[in-house]
Amino acid sequence: MKRIIATDYDGTLNQGGIKPHVAEAIERFRAAGNLFGVVTGRDVAGSYDVFAREKTFSFDFVLPFNGALALDAQGNVLYNASVRGDVPYGDTTLSRALVRRIWELTGVHCGIAFENRRMDIHPDYPDGGKIGWTKLTPFSDLERDVFGKMDRFCQLNTVCETEERAGEVTAILQAEFGDYVNPLQNGICIDIPVKGMDKGEAVARYAARMGVREEDCWTAGDNYNDLAMLERFHGCAMANGVQAVKDAAEFVCRDIADVVELVMGK
């Protein structure tokens, strides 16, 4: 009987790095014929590309953008859930309207991505530039043809100063753009995949594709955007997670090695 473990990355699988005993537990789980992978709010460059390059743990799948994209171990696209960003919206287009509103609410950068393409725009860098490793798209391009190469998107993202403000902005974006996107709070960050997508839906789609029953799916997470998969499947909250996640989960574990022991014990 094949089983799936789908885990969040930051704060769940990665707790100050991937510990050797965690990597060993994953290998043991996969060697028994099971499937292991990551469901994350990160984009492709920050998830699949890093995991494949660094090889700190083995995996069968990666579901970036809170599951709005699915990649197998070789990086092949299994599905993408996206919407057209160039459709008319008020006096502009959907993509521009979303980015404008996110700036108004947060005052910081907004990222928008489709598969392995991504753009980040920041109001304090009107001519482009870089923040850390992120190359910024010039502010002026917003009203030119910047979205010509981003006519579809899987997810937007932004960040707030506090978790409280992130919760407020998430609710506002849901109320105003909920017909198109599904804003999810992730600590002080806000991930904004397309409508209908969250980590629970992502795991369900992958399991169906692989012929695995939903009752044989186990999930692990530590933050609010993990709730959908923890509540839908056997959920394992991390002991370092937010209280809402621990309340919603079936089990509380220290790390992914604990999750593997729990699942294989079952």
State both tokens at 77.
């696209």
- In tens, the pLDDT along 220-230 reads 999 999 999 99
Q: Indicate whether 76 and 118 sit together in one domain.
A: no
**What is the average pLDDT across 4-28?**
97
Q: Which of 193, 222, 252 is the last residue in one of the domains?
A: 193
If asked whether residues 177 and 248 sit together in one domain, one would say: no
- Give residue 118's identity as a one-letter amino acid code: R
**pTM exceeds 0.95:** no
Instruction: Say whether 137 sits in a helix, a strand or coil.
Output: strand
**% of the chain surpassing 70 pLDDT:** 91
pLDDT digits (tens, 9 = 90+) for 104-145: 899 777 888 888 888 887 777 767 676 665 676 766 666 555
User: For the domain that residue 26 is a member of, what is the CATH number?
Assistant: 3.40.50.1000
For residues 173 and 165, what is the distance between their CA atoms, to the nearest angstrom? 12
Whole-number CA gyration radius for the chain: 18
Poorest-pLDDT segment among 100-104, 131-135, 199-203: 131-135
Question: Would you state the pLDDT for residue 134?
Answer: 66
Q: Among 193, 212, 234, which residue terminates a domain?
A: 193
Do 76 and 205 have their domain in common? yes
In this predicted model, what pLDDT tens digit does every residue of 152-177 receive, in sequence order?
A: 899 999 999 999 999 999 999 999 99
112 and 189 both lie in a single domain: yes
The dihedral through the CA atoms of 68, 222, 28, 42 has a sign that is positive
In this predicted structure, which of 46-50, 116-120, 145-149 has the lowest mean pLDDT?
Answer: 145-149
Please say which residue of 178, 193, 208 terminates a domain: 193
| pLDDT reading at 147 higher than 60 | no
**87 in the same domain as 76:** no
Tell me the residue range of the domain where 202 lies: 4-80+197-265
- How many domains, the chain? 2
C-alpha to C-alpha distance for 210 and 156, rounded to whole angstroms: 28
Same domain, 184 and 92: yes
